[in-house]
Amino acid sequence: MARSFSMRGVQSAADRAVQHARAWMLETEPGSRVHDVQLDPRFQHRGVDLLWELPSGEVRGIEVKGDRNATRRRYFFELVSNLEKDTPGCFLYSGADLLVYVFLSQGELHVVPMKAAREWFLPRAKEYPLKHAFTQTGAIRYTTVGAVVPVRDVAEGVPGVLRVPLKRRGGAKDAPEEVPPASESPQRQETTG
């Protein structure tokens, strides 16, 4: 079943996801700086939304995705950005170091090493169902295609995936934790796919 989205709704989720990603980066590395390059053509074609300048001088590219679905415990790995124009999806071409995937309704931010995730996913891509999403921008409607991949599978196959609870209204949050493989996690149903 395909889903339809308005550009306004998609942009609102994206903006909130970027705010959460920025807050996490600045809290994780005090003294770092975050540069928003979403509208910079030099970075758009590279699939990089934010540049994270660490105090050491190292700069990391960050791709941010926001998911508004309240119950889904799956990633949507974008394989075709615009089906009508046959443009590749961000998951395939992004030059980002990290994919920060924000589950907005669930209050979680996941940090996924992009290169390792892509290397893990590509040989098993046919194991995962493809979903189509339609986005309306004014009079233009386009189709995005992505693989739906359970969080649990990525946690088991890709080392270094972090799950970070988002701050609650009072400002408190739990400490980030590496997402353990399902076989090691006593809270499997709660923390993974």
Question: What confidence tens digit (pLDDT) does each residue in 169-182 have?
Answer: 544 444 455 554 44
Query: What's CA 66's distance to the chain center, in Å?
Result: 6
State percent of the chain over pLDDT 70. 80
Q: How much is the mean pLDDT over the chain? A: 84
Query: What's CA 107's distance to the chain center, in Å?
Result: 13
Q: Which amino acid is at 26?
A: L
Q: What would the mean pLDDT of 64-90 be, rounded to a whole number?
A: 90
Q: What would the mean pLDDT of 180-189 be, rounded to a whole number?
A: 35
Report the DSSP pairing between strands 140-150 and 74-82.
antiparallel
Residue count (the chain): 193
Confidence band for 20, pLDDT divided at 50, 70 and 90: very high
Q: Answer yes or no: are the C-beta atoms of 128 and 149 closer than 8 Å.
A: yes
Distance between CA atoms of residues 157 and 90, nearest Å: 20
pLDDT given at position 56 = 97
Q: Is the dihedral of CA 123, 61, 147, 174 positive or negative?
A: positive
Q: Which alpha helices (H) appear in the chain, and where do they start and end?
A: 7-28, 41-44, 90-93, 114-121, 151-157, 188-191
pLDDT given at position 186 = 31
